[in-house]
Amino acid sequence: MFKLLKKVFFISVFVLLAGCKTIYQNAQMDDPDWAPALPIVSNNNQANPGGIYNPNTVKLLFQDQKAHQVGDVITIVLTESTNATKTADTGLAKSSTTSLAAPSAMGNLLTVGGGTLDLSADSGAQDRSFSAETDSAQSNRLQGTISVTVHGVYPNGNLLVKGEKWIGLNQGNEFIRVAGIVRPEDVDKNNTVKSTMIANARISYGGTGPLAEANEEGWLTRFFNSGWWPF
């Protein structure tokens, strides 16, 4: 029995340690899920021998060149800014008093053996109270640019874009990942679109290496600060 409990303990500790890893530490360069999409090659894109005009490769002079097919590059302008505040103040109070008068018969108190029988009772006052107050504020801001590629085109013309940018620093790397759905109408003449115009956006900013690890709490500290700690 002791050996079984010992195995269960070590397995629980291992699962706890594995769950304490962050997504940033698991992020790696050249992740195939974030690889750029290549243009779809078709035999129809070959040059037309004997003709000067080829509709498959023509570039219009009076139309902005915007991303519209798989493999095209589009620039995302990061303009993320969020502010959130929350305040809660709760108070509960309850007070009660219970008393029981002495029983009587015909207006006279009951007597036993010539003495008065006093069965009155008084529980006194009971007070209960609860008070709680919380105040939370959070602010985030992310600015910059990142170029991504079109990974898919929906039947209504919307573009599925996805990409990442890695920056190597002194003792680590920083990365930005962006994915979402873009309307062609929201892409401006410079082939850029604001991140606030991306539907179902997934924007991640983080880092790897010793500098990123130094800014993280240890697994034991996170355990005591988590909901698993009962006190």
- DSSP letters, 105-135, are ETTEE-EETTEE----EEEEEEEEEEEEEEE
Query: Once rounded to an integer, what is the mean pLDDT over residues 127-147?
Result: 85
Range of the domain at 161: 68-81+141-217
Q: Are 203 and 142 in contact (CB under 8 A)?
A: yes
Q: Cα–Cα distance between 166 and 27 in angstroms, integer?
A: 11
Range picked from 17-26, 42-51, 138-147, 217-226 for highest mean pLDDT: 138-147
Q: Cα–Cα distance between 201 and 79 in angstroms, integer?
A: 13
Contacts for 60 with CB less than 8 Å, ≥ 6 apart: none
pLDDT of residue 21: 44
pLDDT > 70 fraction of the chain, expressed in percent and rounded: 58
Q: What is the DSSP letter of 220?
A: H
Domain assignment of residue 212, yes or no: yes
Q: What is the pTM of this model?
A: 0.59
How far is residue 101 CA from its own chain's centroid? 62
pLDDT of residue 20: 47
Averaged pLDDT score across all residues of the chain: 76
pLDDT exceeds cutoff 80 at 44: no
pLDDT of residue 191: 94
Q: Are 74 and 159 in contact (CB under 8 A)?
A: yes
pLDDT of residue 37: 87
How sure is the predictor about 163, in pLDDT bands with cuts at 50, 70 and 90? very high
Domain assignment of residue 73, yes or no: yes
Q: Cα–Cα distance between 55 and 24 in angstroms, integer?
A: 45
Domain assignment of residue 208, yes or no: yes
pLDDT exceeds cutoff 50 at 24: no
Domain assignment of residue 205, yes or no: yes
Domain count for the chain, please give it.
1
Domain assignment of residue 204, yes or no: yes
Domain assignment of residue 127, yes or no: no
Domain assignment of residue 29, yes or no: no
Domain assignment of residue 172, yes or no: yes
